[in-house]
């Protein structure tokens, strides 16, 4: 997420800079108060909306982030920072078709937006395959149905959670978080072979989520397939350096 813009036309630049520093330092409440104060005085402050979107993104409020980045772009159509952030949010929510015209408009407004041009050309050339791009896989996937399922899982309501995860597969299409959730439920129910298969499918669809690999390792120990789990991890580790943080578990 990009918190910096050099756009001198935006009002309350100093206040936005203070908020951006607070975000970088993890002072989310302070940053939020500053940004809401800016918007209270200037409801068209695109930089403040972008920064609020970054806060929502950092706290896993994916839908709020998407709406705030969209708001920022609606106020300034060639705001490159917000457009790049919106692209990531649209990948997360599988809403690329909705935002694609905004990138075309931005390029028409300002042909010098190289990052935006690259994104737009990627959207056009890859079409739906963009959700299988390395960037999309690194960002992951979220839907409201998944959010409901994960809350039910946290509450220990396994049967209702399983139904919601299955609904996500039917509605959103096959996705890693849904299969991971189903795997966790199977593990808790001691259906270890089912859990093992579900975690493998989750990794195939979302190969950058460290927790799924750790879940796979746990269940592999229960069924004598630890070596296979380690092999799977090492295959994906070569392609996704983000996994290095858990490598010590697979030695």
pLDDT tens profile 152-163: 999 999 999 999
Contact between residue 208 and residue 240 where contact means Cβ atoms under 8 Å apart: yes
Say which residues have a Cβ less than 8 Å from residue 67's Cβ, sequence separation at least 6. Answer: 53
Contact between residue 63 and residue 43 where contact means Cβ atoms under 8 Å apart: no
List pLDDT tens digits, range 191-208: 999 999 999 999 999 999
Contact between residue 107 and residue 116 where contact means Cβ atoms under 8 Å apart: yes
Q: What is the average pLDDT across 223-236?
A: 97
Residue 2 pLDDT: 62
Which residue from 167, 53, 146 is spatially nearest to 94, judged by alpha carbons? 146
9 band by pLDDT with thresholds 50, 70 and 90: confident
Based on DSSP, count helices (H) and strands (E) in the chain, helices before strands. Answer: 14, 0
pTM, whole model, 2 decimals? Answer: 0.89
List pLDDT tens digits, range 42-71: 999 999 999 999 999 999 999 999 999 999
Contact between residue 39 and residue 11 where contact means Cβ atoms under 8 Å apart: no
1 band by pLDDT with thresholds 50, 70 and 90: confident
Tell me the C-alpha distance between 214 and 146, whole Å: 20
For 155-185, letters b (16+ CB in 10 Å) and e give eeebeebbebbebbeeebeebbbbbbbbbbb
Show the domains of the chain with their CATH numbers.
13-139 (1.25.40.10), 144-250 (1.25.40.10)
């Amino acid at each position: 997420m990009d918190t910096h813009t050099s756009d001198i036309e935006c009002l309350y630049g100093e206040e936005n800079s203070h908020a951006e520093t607070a975000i970088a330092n993890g002072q989310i409440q302070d940053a939020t108060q500053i940004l809401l104060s800016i918007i209270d005085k200037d409801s068209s402050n695109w930089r403040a909306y972008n920064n609020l979107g970054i806060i929502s993104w950092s706290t896993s409020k994916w839908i709020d982030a998407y709406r705030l980045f969209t708001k920022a772009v609606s106020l300034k159509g060639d705001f490159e920072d917000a457009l790049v952030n919106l692209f990531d949010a649209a990948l997360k929510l599988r809403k690329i078709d909705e935002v694609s015209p905004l990138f075309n408009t931005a390029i028409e407004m300002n042909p010098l937006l190289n990052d935006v041009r690259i994104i737009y050309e990627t959207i056009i050339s890859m079409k739906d395959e963009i959700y299988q791009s390395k960037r999309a896989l690194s960002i992951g996937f979220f839907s409201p149905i998944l959010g409901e399922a994960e809350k039910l899982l946290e509450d220990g309501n396994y049967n209702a959670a399983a139904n919601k995860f299955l609904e996500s597969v039917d509605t959103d299409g096959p996705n890693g978080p849904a299969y991971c959730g189903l795997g966790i439920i199977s593990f808790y129910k001691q259906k270890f072979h089912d859990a093992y298969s579900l975690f493998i499918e989750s990794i195939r669809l979302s190969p950058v989520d460290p927790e799924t690999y750790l879940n796979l390792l746990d269940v592999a120990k229960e069924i004598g397939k630890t070596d296979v789990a380690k092999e799977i991890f090492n295959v994906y580790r070569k392609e996704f350096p983000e996994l290095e943080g858990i490598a010590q578990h697979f030695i």
